[in-house]
C-alpha cells in the first residue's frame, strides 16, 4: 500500500498507469469503520486500483469544536486499509489542498441542498463539495464510492460531477449496519453501550415506515415524532419524507424507490443520521 502526503507525488505515481487501469476512489475523514471498508471492498471488486483519501476537511465544519474534536486514528486506519487491500492512501496536510486563507466555494445545488442537512448545518455542503471537487480533479477516478447513509451528500456529489462535466461515475453503496440496525458511523464510538441500544430507535422507525408505507406520509411522520417524545435522552432534530430527485418534502408518495425517509437525532449530545429509500 502506497501512502502519499502530496498531490504532486500521488499524480506522478498515477501517471505511470496512463489510461490502462480503472481507478476507484473512496474519500474519507478517517476514523474508519466497517462502512468505509465496505466502500473499499466495492472499489476492489469494480476497479483495478483503489484509492482512499484521509483528510479532515476544515471548510465543511460549521462548528469549530466539532473540527477540533474530530477523532484522529490514522495509525489504526492505515492498518484497516492494508487488511482490505487498499492500494493507495492520500493523506495530505491542509496546505496541499488549500491555499492560505482559502474558504469554501459557493455552489448552487438547488433544492438538493436546502432542506434537512442544508438547514441544520449551514455551509456544510459548500465545504464538502469544495474538497470533493479538488480530490476528483487530482485523482480523476473512474468510479467514486459514497455511502447511502449520507444520502443528501450522495445526490449533491452526483450533481457536482454534472456541474464539473466530469467523467467520474458516482456510485452509492448501501448503508452498513450494526447487528441492532444502527448505521455504522464514526460517531458511534462516542456512545455508551446503553446509548447504542437506545439509538436503535432510528432504525426501528425507518423499518416501521418501510413495512407500513400504505399508512401514508403524515401518519408515519406522526408515528416517528411520538416514538421520540417517549425518550428521555434522545431528541429528534428532523424526520423528513422527501423525493430523491429533489430532496424536498413530499405529502404523497412518488414512484417506488423514488422516496426517502431521513432522520436526524441527538443522543447524549451525539448527532446521528440515517435514512431508508422507499
Total domains in the fold of the chain: 2
Q: Give the integer Cα–Cα distance in Å for 57 and 45.
A: 28
Q: Is 38 a catalytic residue?
A: no
SS3 call for 183: strand
Q: Give the integer Cα–Cα distance in Å for 49 and 87.
A: 6
pLDDT at position 71: 81
Do 91 and 202 have their domain in common? no
Do 99 and 197 have their domain in common? no
Closest CA to 45 of 6, 103, 96, 84: 84
Q: How confident is the model at residue 113 (pLDDT cuts 50, 70, 90)?
A: very high
Q: How confident is the model at residue 29 (pLDDT cuts 50, 70, 90)?
A: very high
Catalytic residue among 36, 38, 124, 267: 36
Closest CA to 88 of 5, 171, 185: 5
Q: Is the pLDDT of residue 70 over 90?
A: no
Q: Which residues pair with 24 in a beta bridge?
A: 50, 143
Q: What's 104's domain CATH number?
A: 3.40.50.620
Considering the entire predicted model, what is its pTM? 0.95
Q: Is the pLDDT of residue 62 over 90?
A: no
Do 126 and 88 have their domain in common? yes
Task: Compute the Cα dihedral for 134, 139, 144, 147 and give only its sign.
Answer: negative
Which residue range is the domain that position 30 belongs to?
2-173
Q: How confident is the model at residue 247 (pLDDT cuts 50, 70, 90)?
A: very high
Contact, 179 vs 59, CB < 8 A? no
Q: Give the integer Cα–Cα distance in Å for 164 and 59.
A: 19
Q: Is the pLDDT of residue 19 over 90?
A: no
**Mean of pLDDT values over 208-221:** 98
Is residue 180 one of the residues assigned to a domain? no
> What are the pLDDT digits (tens) for 84-98?
999 999 999 999 999
Do 212 and 128 have their domain in common? no
pLDDT at position 18: 85
Q: What's 211's domain CATH number?
A: 3.30.1300.10
Do 142 and 13 have their domain in common? yes
Amino acid at each position: 500500500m502506497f501512502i502519499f502526503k502530496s498531490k504532486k507525488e500521488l499524480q506522478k505515481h498515477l501517471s505511470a498507469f496512463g489510461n490502462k487501469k480503472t481507478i476507484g476512489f473512496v474519500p474519507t475523514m478517517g476514523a474508519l469503520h466497517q462502512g468505509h471498508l465496505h466502500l473499499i471492498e466495492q472499489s476492489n471488486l469494480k476497479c483495478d486500483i483503489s484509492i482512499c483519501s484521509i483528510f479532515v476537511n476544515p471548510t465543511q465544519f460549521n462548528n469549530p469544536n466539532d473540527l477540533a474534536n474530530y477523532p484522529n486514528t490514522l495509525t489504526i486506519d492505515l492498518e484497516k486499509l492494508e487488511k482490505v487491500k487498499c492500494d493507495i492512501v492520500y493523506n495530505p496536510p491542509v496546505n496541499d489542498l488549500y491555499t492560505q486563507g482559502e474558504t469554501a466555494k459557493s455552489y448552487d445545488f438547488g433544492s438538493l441542498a436546502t432542506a434537512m442537512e442544508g438547514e441544520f448545518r449551514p455551509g456544510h455542503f459548500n465545504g464538502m463539495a469544495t474538497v470533493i471537487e479538488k480530490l476528483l480533479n487530482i485523482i480523476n477516478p473512474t468510479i467514486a464510492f459514497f455511502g447511502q447513509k449520507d444520502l443528501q451528500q450522495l445526490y449533491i456529489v452526483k450533481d457536482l460531477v454534472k456541474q464539473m462535466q466530469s467523467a467520474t461515475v458516482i456510485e452509492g453503496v448501501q448503508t452498513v449496519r450494526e447487528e441492532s440496525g444502527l448505521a455504522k458511523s464514526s460517531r458511534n464510538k462516542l456512545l455508551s453501550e446503553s446509548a447504542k441500544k437506545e439509538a436503535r430507535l432510528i432504525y426501528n422507525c425507518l423499518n416501521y415506515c418501510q413495512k407500513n408505507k400504505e399508512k401514508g406520509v403524515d401518519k408515519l411522520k406522526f408515528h416517528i415524532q411520538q416514538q421520540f417524545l417517549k425518550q428521555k435522552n434522545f431528541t429528534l432534530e428532523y424526520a423528513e419524507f422527501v423525493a430523491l430527485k429533489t430532496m424536498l418534502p413530499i405529502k404523497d408518495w412518488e414512484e417506488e424507490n423514488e422516496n426517502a425517509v431521513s432522520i436526524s437525532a441527538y443522543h447524549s449530545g451525539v448527532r446521528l443520521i440515517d435514512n431508508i429509500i422507499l
